Chain A
Amino acid sequence: MKKVLFAALCLVYLELSMRVVSAPICSYGQAGCHVPSLADLFERVIQQSSRMHSVSSDLHSEFEQYFFPSKNIMGKRKCHTYDILTPQDKENAQRLGREQLTEVIVTLLRAWGEPLSELHQSMSQDQHQDFNIYSSNKALEISDIVHELKDGVKIITDKMRLMGVLSNTVGYNSPESLVPSSAFYTQGDLDSMDHHDLLYCFRRDSNKVKNYLRVLKCTTLPELGC
């Protein structure tokens, strides 16, 4: 009986003394925080953007395969992010500078938040059973990634501002061009054409985001060996 009591006391003591606590990741350098480096942040963000692009590509190709076998058909519908000015080639992207490039990235990501969630909702509620469950999950996934990516890029810009790498300059896009994304969509159901167009547009924009993030990383941290 005494032994049992002793063992119980030992266990209680161990339980109280050894507690596993996860170290919080915080970007503001609070005490007791593990602060990730800029390189780590970039690495994470690039991974996410790569994932975002590949999922969107898969989704788009599935859609095309399923609904539009002929590849070249596409209505000349403009993407809702058409008015967001983005560099179209390498030289322009490099000439843009870090601040403006960052701003472009953020703008793009912000523009896609709502449409993607709408897309997911629409796909999961599809009456015609057009999409299998996996496509719907993919839409949800990219919606989440875009959300996370937005936060991640914001953290990076804050950190770069802290490090003095980033300065406050005039934005690349004039404020007028930043049209709220929801204006492009009716609040009603999106049909398949809408889905297809959305996916097409998003595939392109996710590729842009991925590319811009890589250029940003290599110009900001060239020593990492791009």
Chain B
Amino acid sequence: MSAPGKPVLLGCRSPEKETFTCWWEPGSDGGLPTTHHLYYERERLEGTYECPDYLSAGRNSCFFNKNHTSIWVNYYLTVMASNALGNATSDPFKVDVMEIVKPDSPRNVTLRVEERKDSPCLHVRWRPPSNTDTKSGWVTIKYELRVKKDNSNNWEEYMSGTQTHFSLYSVSPGVVYTVQVRCTLDHSSWSEWSNTTYVKISNYLQNERPFLMLISILSVILFITAGFVLIMKRKSVKHWVVPPVPGPKIRGINSQFLKVAGSEDVSNALIFNQSFPPIHFVWEDQMEEYLNVTENEDWLSFNSQKRKKSLIPACFHFDSEIHCKESTCNQNEWEKDEEISKVDNNNKPFTNTGYVDFQRHVENVQGANVKHVDYSRIKEVKGNNVLILETENIQISNIPEDYHRVKEMEGDHLVVLQKQNAADINYTDCALHKPRKPHVCTESSNSGYVDTIPAPPLM
């Protein structure tokens, strides 16, 4: 039980240059209930006054409101502790409000991430402390902020002047940023740092870059694959780009066969694979060479005759593409010396037979009715292409009724038949089927030769 210990004035603070608070530390209380009183004197003011407010600022404090606060004057403070046994007075403490200004921290620090094309940026916004009066110009607040990345201990500090916002442009995605702001009133002490605010910058912008990279890698792979394919198929590519000049080729002849086969086979192949001249449409305008099928001993020597337009063979043709395979060619034999027997039945439908009528320009015309024409009657047909004709020239004066002589060919499809009495010319129209098949001329005239027997396909 003793008199109280001497209290100590710790310090004072003014948050806005309009009020201030002072705190003291009481000494020992001496085991008795002790009260404390603060007394002050002021420059330009006579007298000693007691603290106007012990409560507002908490225990062991004295709050001076606006009415009791004057700037640019010295206050001399003392605190007295007293209990039943005695008093104790602290040392005087001089304070000028101008010197003890320390504002509160800025409020409502908000962070906003702005996603931009190339790099995001961070916008920081805050509010000034609530009790400062900047409108009248009494105080001017200046701000400062500091930024920290993730968990590092290095703060980067930036001055913000009097602005209540700040933008950071060098921010990296995927990093957590911690921001704090503090302020000062004119040249007073700095406030405490505000509460920390965190923001994590999203990574999606980063994802775009791997996406682009993925696309570029895929396209590179595609290019490489295409290159490989081209190299593998370079021959066909070369063929396509630079088509080879076609060499001479006999239709129906297998060049491979020719290399392998013997001379007989070669000849066979050459013969059998020849097709009779195409009789249909095109030959009208052309001078073509035809195989002249004559007597069998001569048939090896093919006399090619120039045929004119008016010569019309029978209205059929052999299949244009006859591939003579080796096996079939061997079967075809020909006999040079063969007796030609008369063919009995003219109407007999020969397989692979038909009349070939060649009308020649004959000098001596014997009569209107009877034209001196050369006819060769086909004796027989060997194989697919060989016609064996009779040797004698047959003069046919009496042309049987069911034969018609073809006078001429008009157009591609029109066969002009000659009337026996030259009075009645009918036209037949050859319906042209597929060129490969021997086509059939249906005749409806009664003058001129038209073989109505359709020739079956030769193969």
Contacts and interface: CB of A to CB of B under 8 A. Distances in A.
8 contacts: A72-B94, A88-B71, A89-B66, A90-B18, A204-B96, A208-B72, A210-B186, A218-B136
A214 B140 contact: yes
B166 interface: no
Given A57-B187, A90-B136, 16 more contacts: A72-B94, A74-B94, A88-B44, A88-B72, A89-B18, A90-B66, A90-B138, A94-B136, A204-B98, A211-B71, A211-B186, A215-B137, A216-B137, A226-B134, A226-B136, A226-B137
| Main secondary structure on A side of the interface with B | helix
B136 A215 contact: yes
A80 interface: no
A100 interface: no
B40 interface: no
Interface string B1-37: 0000000000000000110000000000000000000
B69 interface: yes
Contacts of B136: 90, 94, 215, 218-219, 226
A218 B136 CA distance: 6
Contacts of A211: 71, 138, 186
Given A57-B187, A90-B18, A204 B133 contact: no
Interface in A167-209: 204, 207-208
A211 B96 CA distance: 15
| Main secondary structure on B side of the interface with A | loop
Nearest to B98: A207
A213 B96 CA distance: 20
Interface in A60-100: 72, 74, 86, 88-91, 93-94
Interface of A: 50, 53-54, 57, 72, 74, 86, 88-91, 93-94, 204, 207-208, 210-211, 214-219, 226
A91 B135 contact: no
B39 interface: no
A203 to B, nearest CB: 8
A42 to B, nearest CB: 10
Interface in B293-350: none
A89 B69 contact: yes
Contact of B187 (A54, A72, A89, A214): A54
B93 interface: yes
Contacts of A86: 72
A85 B140 CA distance: 24
Contacts of B140: 214
Contacts of B133: 90
Contact of A204 (B66, B72, B92): B72
B73 interface: yes
Nearest to A212: B137
B186 to A, nearest CB: 7
Contacts of B447: none
B381 to A, nearest CB: 109
Contact of A53 (B18, B137, B187): B187
A72 B138 contact: no
B135 A226 contact: yes
B65 to A, nearest CB: 11
A207 B72 contact: yes
Contacts of B66: 89-91
Contact of B135 (A54, A89, A218): A218
Contacts of A72: 92-94
B94 to A, nearest CB: 5
Interface in B129-150: 133-138, 140
A123 B66 CA distance: 40
A198 B134 CA distance: 30
A75 to B, nearest CB: 12
A118 B133 CA distance: 38
A219 B96 CA distance: 26
